[in-house]
Chains A and B, each alone.
Chain A
């Protein structure tokens, strides 16, 4: 029965992905992509990976749909869009690749432990209790550091492309209907609490900095969609500091380890330091993702205004 479920999920994934590529309109492709994110979260849950299922649920339900729909609205031409590119010649190489990958997976064998033994052997040296968080922050901390750097570079790139003066976008007007305000008043405290819960949970259970950051970013985008003035009331310096904080703490850690003549990015034995890095990383991820989601909006009058002022103000 579990095999039937797995086969059905796999078939649904491949079928949805195929339909996303061959959809006759862009909006249909976007809706199918959101559904694909949902099915992917199911697949991760079925593969006993709650961390990735959490991350996929947060990104797929919250941010991916909003980003794609906003992009679609910004570039859409009236009328049907023809997606007439022909990629049928790629079918045979893809099938060949899929066959080779399946053969190599079948070679692994059902009782192979993978990297579990190595991670468990290393767990005594760290002060964390959950292996996934230990891998992300301690054993492979370099990857997490660079991931924060990539997010920061994306935000900087967005600023340069849009020639914006700050990473906050002009806010949409507050929703006129009371349902929007009621929704914000219910969802936003829950989002903040759920994000904090996931961050705290990450020390000993599936959760962690990335999931919490994505949930908070979704809360930020929700505030922006409702036109709530609180996003614009925060000083810009706070946005900038928060965006850089995660990357900066990792950098401090690397410098401190180098000063003490240890291998770079060695965590000191205090658990408080690892937790501080994780919390800072979550805040940075939230701020960077919010800026990426709302900073790309470009109303027409903004372009005229910056031309009137001249480009002398530059990027701050």
Chain B
């Protein structure tokens, strides 16, 4: 029972960070700041949800797989943000598409 409550609290925290990431994506004025909002959602939002699911799951292999998925998402999203940021920085005038 206590595990369920902890899991619910952690998942709600993760959902809050995802909401913050989406609001930042919609409301921030610049592409660089939107990248910043994106990384918060990726890192903390997914991390808290994974942590909540860890408390809700039963076996150790599941927990390890959840942790691995979070680490992969970290690697992917951090390098994606680096590449996009580099791209915008080196091409200041982008065509409107």
A residues with a Cβ closer than 8 A to B are: 25-28, 78-80, 177, 179, 182-183, 186-187, 190
Quick one: CB contact mask for B41-64 with A, threshold 8 Å, 1 for yes? 000000000000000000000000
Assembled-state Cα–Cα distance A146/B54 (Å): 43
- Which residues of chain B come closer than 8 Å to A190, judged between CB atoms? 72
B60 to chain A, nearest CB (A): 17
CB-defined A-B contacts under 8 Å, sample of 8: A25-B97, A79-B95, A80-B96, A80-B97, A179-B79, A182-B79, A183-B75, A186-B75
B89 to chain A, nearest CB (A): 12
B83 within 8 A of A: yes
Known contacts A25-B97, A28-B97: does B72 contact A179 (CB below 8 Å)? Answer: no
- Which residues of chain A come closer than 8 Å to B86, judged between CB atoms? 177
List 16 additional contacts besides A78-B95, A186-B75; criterion CB under 8 Å.
Answer: A26-B97, A27-B97, A28-B97, A79-B95, A80-B96, A80-B97, A177-B86, A179-B79, A179-B82, A179-B83, A182-B79, A183-B75, A183-B79, A187-B75, A187-B76, A190-B72
B residues with a Cβ closer than 8 A to A are: 72, 75-76, 79, 82-83, 86, 95-97
- Which residues of chain B come closer than 8 Å to A186, judged between CB atoms? 75
Assembled-state Cα–Cα distance A139/B86 (Å): 51
- Which residues of chain B come closer than 8 Å to A177, judged between CB atoms? 86
A222 to chain B, nearest CB (A): 11
Assembled-state Cα–Cα distance A180/B75 (Å): 11
Assembled-state Cα–Cα distance A78/B75 (Å): 34
